[in-house]
Structure 1
Amino acid sequence: MHAPLFEAVPNFSEGKDNAKISRITEAVRAIPGVRILSLHSDPDHNRSVLTFAGEEDPVLSGALALAKACATELDLASQSGEHPRMGVLDVLPFVPLEGATMDDAVRLAHKASESLGFLGFPVYLYGSAATNPHRRSLPDIRRGGYEGVASRISDPLWKPDYGPKTLDSHRGVVAVGARPFLVAFNAYLDTDDVEVARVVATRVRESGGGLPAVRALGFGVGGKAQVSMNLTDLEQTPIPVALEAVRSAAADLGASVESTELVGLAPLEAVLQAARYYLGLRELEADHVLESRLYGRSDPRRL
């Protein structure tokens, strides 16, 4: 029996300096047993999303190596970008993969948080790892970015779970969580009016009365208005349903979707959901995909 596998999807606050991004990434790659799956860097958001996987101990070591590299390479006090941020290592979620349960991911999140605390990072736990109901949602923790956290940290309700109880303006804080798969999906509109993207985001996100399990914000990226979404439960709202909601809301404002973007990775089921929706393939499953039948489960070429 194989040891349980985990995915880590850290977001760190650098998307412009390729040399720094490379050094931070290489610190993780150097850990034996870690497999880097994806790196997505966005200069407008000034943010990178790294995805890596492995067994518990290598993933934990990779996360700590990443944190040390971020503390060495980055300075939050001089960082700016479209995306809200509160730390050089901003978010560190753990996702249970084959053989692992959500409880396993929660334990890993607590282990990582304790070690990050010893390294000098204030840590807030979120998602399934949250220790307080009012801190379960990541947007609630990140509200107002670093400045918002700084204004709340002296409140006993917002005392960090691990690490220092005061802020270092150069490294900030980190949110560590345990969660299921999340798909980060962006839609670019055929306008440069950021206000249009913000209105669309408000209409489609759950907190605005829109779709369940959808978080959304509007940004200006590369001269285009962008609706940036996190789809937190694909059973409730798959990618095509979210996209059609954006299209409808944008059309009401005289805009349309010009292109879309996947940030990081998505599970095969997310792609199959899109194919079923747009092609009308009611019975499409993974076994209908050639590579899934051609290669065995242990073959990395299998989807």
Structure 2
Amino acid sequence: MSSSRLGLRLAACLLNISEARRKNVVEKIAKAALFEENGNEHSEATVLNIFSDYDYNRSVITIAAPIEKLVNSVLAACVEAFQVIDMEVQEGIHPCLGAVDLIPIYPLSGVGVEECGMVARSLAEKLTIHVPGCSVFLFGEADQPEKRSLVQRRKQLGWFSRREFKSLKPDVGTMPDKRCGLTGIGASPYVMNCNVTIDSQDLATGKKIASAIRGSNVDGLKGVQAMAFPHCGKIEIACNVESFEDQNPIENTGYITYCILGHHYSYISPQSLEAQIKKLACDEGISTVGTALVGFTPQECKDCAEYALRKKIGEFWKKREGIFM
């Protein structure tokens, strides 16, 4: 039964936290999303996936719920994260600014990106009240009226290199506390994370490939943001794959289209992205040695959320491989 027939208006949060080396801590944060303040378990929230990378020291926790319930679940997970992650001692090769680094809200079904933006702004206000020292910058539909993208905001704030906050003015909250850091909260159409490893230790070559596939490049892949990082003795091309509104989708171009509330969105398929990186690596005399999709495609996220909520499976990440392969 679909979410529309269930009467659910679903959204997801891909919560990015600056911790991956303590599995028990990451799972404690994930489980916090499933419980109310009185200790009762949320029957209308599920954690679909936990992806942790030791070298990056970064985890992505996928939380899904009806849009009306999502704020409280995400808020509970964030409060827990701020209690157990200290940015003054955090180390990892992935850029980050906050203990809770990123809170993007994505529509899955029956809800528009504009409403997700309102939910994101509400979450920002509540988070700064619940966590003294927490500071927030807004992006996408939450950033009114400019609607600046996450990429724009990160560049403005020095996300790639900053760890000092003295001159920084957050959108919500006071000047960032050194322990908490700065958190990005926003909303947009769904964004996947897809990482491809090349068999090389040459970071310059990795950066060259990342630059070539970026959507900002005239010959790049629309909707793709990419960076290159040393990873496990090789170079990983880490990609954010954005969904973008597409009123005239073209079939069989390597892009996949889906529809929410009459709006058509498209994104490059992970297979097409991998093929392009493989080709560019081959041109450099290098092979690719692995691909990781961090979580789900938009349709997979929707399907898993519907199933988990229908079956009341809060800790879906523990069972997903036995249900969805």
Q: Name the TM tier (shorter chain).
A: 0.7 to 0.9
Q: 1:229 matched to which residue of 2?
A: 239
Aligned mates of 2:145, 2:286 — CA distance in 1:
41
Of the three residues 265, 282, 287, the one matched with 1:256 is 287
Deviation of 1:183 (Å)? 1.5
Distance 1:299 1:88 in 2: 32
Counterpart among 277, 286, 290 of residue 246 in structure 1 = 277
- 1:49-72, CA deviations, whole angstroms, 9 ceiling, x for partnerless residues? 000111234311111111111111
Aligned partners of 1:3, 1:252: CA distance in 2, in Å?
48
Give yes or no for the alignment of 1:48 onto 2:59: yes
- Which digits, 9 at most, give the CA deviation of each residue in 1:176-201, with x for residues without a partner? 11111211111111222232222111
The number of aligned residues is 273
CA distance in 2, matches of 1:48, 1:74: 12
How much does 1:148 deviate?
Answer: 3.2
Equivalent-residue separation in structure 2 for 1:229 and 1:251 (angstroms): 19
Instruction: Please state how far the C-alpha of 1:240 moved relative to its aligned partner.
Output: 2.8
Deviation at 1:108, TM superposition (A): 0.7
In structure 2, relative to structure 1, the CA distance for the partners of 1:62 and 1:150 (3 Å cut) is same
- Which structure exhibits the higher relative contact order, with contacts defined as CA atoms closer than 8 Å and separated by 6 or more residues? 2
Structure with greater helix percent: 1
Structure 1 length normalisation: TM-score?
A: 0.81
The one of 202, 207, 229 equivalent to 1:219 is 229
| Equivalent residue number for residue 111 of structure 1 | 122
Pick the aligned partner of 2:178 from 169, 180, 183: 169
Q: Name the amino acid aligned to 2:57.
A: N
Following the alignment from structure 1 to structure 2, what is the Cα–Cα distance between the partners of residues 200 and 122?
A: 34
Quick one: which amino acid aligns to residue 129 of structure 1? Answer: A
Per the normalisation by structure 2, the TM-score is: 0.76
1:118-152 deviations in whole A, cap 9, x for unaligned? 1332111111222253x622123233327537468
Which residue does the alignment assign to 1:289? none
Q: Give the aligned residue type for 2:229.
A: F
Normalized per residue, which structure has more strand?
Answer: 2
Unaligned runs of 5+ in 1: 271-285, 287-294
Which residue of 93, 98, 106 maps to 2:104? 93
On the 8 A contact 1:16/1:43 being kept in 2, the answer is yes
Name 2:75's counterpart in structure 1: 64
**Preserved CA contact (<8 Å) 2:29 2:77:** yes
Per-residue deviation, 1:168: 0.9
Separation in 2, partners of 1:21, 1:269: 23
Please report how far the alpha carbon of residue 102 of structure 1 lies from its aligned counterpart in structure 2 after TM superposition. 1.4
Helix, strand or coil at the partner of 1:78: coil
1:265 has 2:296 as partner: yes
State the partner residue of 2:153: 141
- Which residue of structure 1 aligns with residue 30 of structure 2? 25
Query: Equivalent residue of 2:102, what SS?
Result: strand
2:214 is matched with which residue: 202, 205, 213? 205
2:109 aligned counterpart, secondary structure: coil
Q: Which whole-Å CA distance do the structure 1 matches of 2:59 and 2:195 have between them?
A: 15
Helix, strand or coil for the counterpart of 1:117? helix
TM-fit CA distance, 1:269: 7.5
